């Protein structure tokens, strides 16, 4: 499985000049995944799967848990290679080189493949098959993140459940983000809105987000990518 996946499929790239470890095996298995085409929970994925995630050798202590690739990232195969990524890197205080250093930053969306568009042209939600198939296995492999950035409700709900604190998820995304300090203190998860430009209105209506959340976020990100343990 691993060697075949290395040889021919798009997705997480795995150099062949080093020993395979369990994280490499995981990445190879994901790269070969066709679950949403061959055994979908509902309508099949309307295109060939192209999982887009970055986990490196499983050493990153900063984890970005997003939703799913959009159409542009589906084409490029590079996560957050779009205006949302530009905004996200600004929020995190990371340049491109650090953001894409997979020894320090893991990028793990709730759906690894672009899920397609709804009739209005908006991205569909992440495929539910993906978290069910892959996420528990992956997060059992990875070290506990120093900081987990949860972008949007799907990621926040799944990770707060996994961390044993589903009670911290508010009925709305606004409520969960507004409760960021308690969530961060209890779980090392920072809940954020998706950095999509569609959320520009939300950011304007909530100036406390830039004034209060982003300085703390950048401090915690700097600690996580430094590899040091603990809290500032």
Q: Does 30 bind ligand SF4 (CB under 6 A)?
A: yes
Q: Does 33 bind ligand SF4 (CB under 6 A)?
A: yes
Q: Does 27 bind ligand SF4 (CB under 6 A)?
A: no
**Which H or E element spans position 107?**
strand 105-107
**In angstroms, what is the minimal distance from the CB of 82 to ligand SF4?**
18
Q: Does 138 bind ligand SF4 (CB under 6 A)?
A: no
Binding residue count for ligand SF4, defined by CB under 6 A:
14
| Helix ranges restricted to H, the chain | 2-8, 22-31, 35-38, 71-76, 83-92, 96-99, 128-130, 136-141, 153-162, 173-178, 180-187, 200-205, 208, 214-226
Q: Does 123 bind ligand SF4 (CB under 6 A)?
A: no
Considering only residues 149 to 188 of the shown chain, the ones binding ligand SF4 according to CB under 6 A are none
180-187 and 214-226 helices cross at what angle (nearest 10)? 20
Maximum Cα interatomic distance, the chain, rounded to a whole number of Å = 51
Q: Does 145 bind ligand SF4 (CB under 6 A)?
A: no
The stretch among 26-34, 78-86, 93-101, 139-147 that binds ligand SF4 (CB under 6 A) is 26-34
Within 10 Å of residue 88's Cβ, how many Cβ atoms? 23
The stretch among 29-37, 116-124, 172-180, 210-218 that binds ligand SF4 (CB under 6 A) is 29-37
Q: Sheet harboring 105-107: ordered strands across?
A: 105-107, 62-65, 147-151, 189-192
Among 111, 150, 191, 195, binds ligand SF4 (CB under 6 A): 111
- Contact present, 26 and 141 (Cβ < 8 Å): yes
Nearer to ligand SF4, 5 or 160 (CB): 5
Among 133, 184, 192, 213, binds ligand SF4 (CB under 6 A): 133
Residues in the site for ligand SF4, rule: CB under 6 A?
30, 33-36, 49, 51, 111-113, 127, 129-130, 133
């Amino acid at each position: 499985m691993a060697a075949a996946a290395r040889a021919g499929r798009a997705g997480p790239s795995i150099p062949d000049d080093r020993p395979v470890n369990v994280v490499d095996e995981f990445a190879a298995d994901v790269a070969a995944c066709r679950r949403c085409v061959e055994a979908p929970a509902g309508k099949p994925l309307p295109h060939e799967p192209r999982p887009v995630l970055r986990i490196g050798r499983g050493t990153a202590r900063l984890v970005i848990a997003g939703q799913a690739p959009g159409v542009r990232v589906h084409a490029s195969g590079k996560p957050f290679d779009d205006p949302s990524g530009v905004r996200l890197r600004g929020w995190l205080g990371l340049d491109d080189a650090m953001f894409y250093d997979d020894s320090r930053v893991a990028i793990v969306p709730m759906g690894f493949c672009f899920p397609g568009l709804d009739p209005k042209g908006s991205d569909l939600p992440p495929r539910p098959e993906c978290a069910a198939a892959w996420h528990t296995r992956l997060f059992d492999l990875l070290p506990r993140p120093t900081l987990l950035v949860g972008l949007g409700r799907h990621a926040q709900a799944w990770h707060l459940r996994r961390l044993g604190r589903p009670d911290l998820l508010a009925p709305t995304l606004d409520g969960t983000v507004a409760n960021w300090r308690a969530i961060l203190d209890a779980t090392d998860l920072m809940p954020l809105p998706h950095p999509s430009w569609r959320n520009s209105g939300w950011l304007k209506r909530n100036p406390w987000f830039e004034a209060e959340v982003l300085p703390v976020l950048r401090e915690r990100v700097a600690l996580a990518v430094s590899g040091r343990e603990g809290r500032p």
